[in-house]
Amino acid sequence: MISRRGALIAGGTGAALVAGGAGVAYKVATGDKPEPVSPPSVDGRGKVLWRNWSGVQHAYPAARLAPKDEAELATALKTAQAPIRPVGAGHSFTALAPTDGTLLSLDAMSGVAGWEGDEAVVRTGTRLGALGPLLAQKGRALPNLPDINKQSLGGALGTATHGTGTKIRALHGDVTALRLVTPSGKVIDADETKNAEVFQAARVSLGALGVITQVRIKTSANRRLRRRVWLESFEEALAKAEGRWATHRNFELYAVPFTGLAVNISHDETDDPAQPRGPEQDTQFLEALRGLRNLLGFATPLRKAAAHALLASTPPETAVDEGWKLLSTERPVRFNEMEFHLPVEHQLAALAEVVRTIEKERPDVFFPIEVRRIAPDDAWLSPFQGGPRGSVAVHAYYRDDFSFLYQLVEPIFRRYDGRPHWGKLHSLNGGQLEAIYPRWKDFLAVRRDLDPEGRMLNPYLKGLFGLT
């Protein structure tokens, strides 16, 4: 969306405009923060540090295991030191993975195990980025992918990870069967008719029932998509969003605070010749936004004017390629994130209020706000259970204070009947979650039956389920 030259212009323009004392003072106060202090690499017991991708969660597990097959996994679940927590890429911002017991990786249990018609049987240690080319060998693809594809399939299913598209479900919505190894070492095969309650509970289970080793999942034809990215005013993007969700196979927008602009991204099936995606430029876009924040954050009108001068005339970007190559994006710049899923009739009003609140209260924010739409499914802990939802995801640069997410943003989402993304920051637990999930008690009953000793529950999950 912006060239390296453009990013440099942002810094140069800002420097020229704020050479006076006010700009310099603001930069010192609220510009780039130092690197967050890292926990010690080894704790007092000699245990090695584990951290998630953003660095906000960490632990010193007593043991780290990577079973090669279900037999090894079953033994580990029965005998390893609890709490036992499965971990994939560590892309969850909530404390789902941290444990002082056993951290369990399924990296050695990956790949496509077979096919049943057009449904693939996939081991859950498979990373989403690796699954695309594996399915493409058969001319197939996942119907959709999330914004980031570094996650393991198991982690993505467990947290209800999703892409965007009014007719396309989150990943777990296309799972038709699964195999679960419980903490007692029992192997359960489940689908809509066999062990149906386990199936409905396990499709989105936060790793709290045991470990899912493989799933059978629907695929679609591996079609080429046309990806288009363009900038326009935030007001125009809001006015046209519903029509674009109705028109495009995939559509999402990014509201860019303190610019008055929004980035739109659409994907549609096409038979046109491939036009490969160019080098990723999102990082340079973020560099420009951060430069504007650091140097012009003391004056919102000036910051918006500079953003328009720098960005508003950026030409659209187009690419044509297989969907698995286009739907996800590299995200090397770390951040922390809160995402809620709202009834579709409230989504855009909530977004507009979030943008107004941030622009009034938090001039240090510069990350774009991601806005998507997801089709419904019936998994018990799916945020999309009972009807379609629209997601709004607010990000904070990993060096910056993110307490505003809880103080300013979460109350807005809750007033609009939002449900939190299980892998993103939120403060809800116990009765608050029971009030918004009709099958909450049913899930907890299945959990008690499968793990009566709570071997899969770390302190975070106990709090989440109201067990402390």
Q: How far apart are CA 347 and CA 351, in angstroms?
A: 6
Identify each DSSP E strand in 185-334 by its residue range.
Answer: 187-191, 211-218, 220-221, 224-233, 250-256, 261-269, 317-322
Q: How far apart are CA 252 and CA 242, in angstroms?
A: 10
Residue 6 has pLDDT above 50, yes or no: no
Residue 35 CB-half CA count within 13 A: 5
Give the pLDDT confidence of 212-243 residue by residue, as tens digits.
Answer: 999 999 999 999 999 999 999 999 999 999 99
Give the pLDDT confidence of 302-317 residue by residue, as tens digits.
Answer: 999 999 999 988 999 9
- Whichever domain contains 184, its CATH number is 3.30.465.10
Instruction: Give the pLDDT band of residue 468 (cuts 50, 70, 90).
Output: confident
Give the pLDDT confidence of 127-178 residue by residue, as tens digits.
Answer: 999 999 999 999 999 999 999 999 999 999 999 999 999 999 999 999 999 9
Taking alpha carbons only, the member of 115, 80, 134, 133 closest to residue 216 is 115
Any domain includes 291: yes
Q: What DSSP element (H or E) covers 391?
A: strand 389-397
Any domain includes 37: no
Provide the greatest CA pair distance for the chain.
Answer: 71
Q: How far apart are CA 293 and CA 297, in angstroms?
A: 5
Question: In terms of domains, do 263 and 408 share one?
Answer: yes
Question: In terms of domains, do 191 and 296 share one?
Answer: no
Q: How far apart are CA 8 and CA 4, in angstroms?
A: 6
Question: In terms of domains, do 288 and 328 share one?
Answer: yes
Question: In terms of domains, do 297 and 174 share one?
Answer: no
Domain that holds residue 94: 50-105
Does the pTM exceed 0.85?
yes
Taking alpha carbons only, the member of 224, 220, 254 closest to residue 237 is 254
- Whichever domain contains 82, its CATH number is 3.30.43
- 83 preceded by a cis bond (ω within 30 of 0): yes
Residue 209 CB-half CA count within 13 A: 30
Q: Tell me the residue type at 300.
A: T
Residue 435 makes CB contacts below 8 A (sequence gap 6+) with none
Bridge partners (DSSP) listed for residue 377 = 385
Question: In terms of domains, do 384 and 244 share one?
Answer: yes
Alpha carbon of 363 to those of 24, 28, 80, 462: distances in Å?
15, 14, 48, 36
Total count of domains within the chain: 3
Question: In terms of domains, do 242 and 365 share one?
Answer: yes
Question: In terms of domains, do 94 and 146 share one?
Answer: no
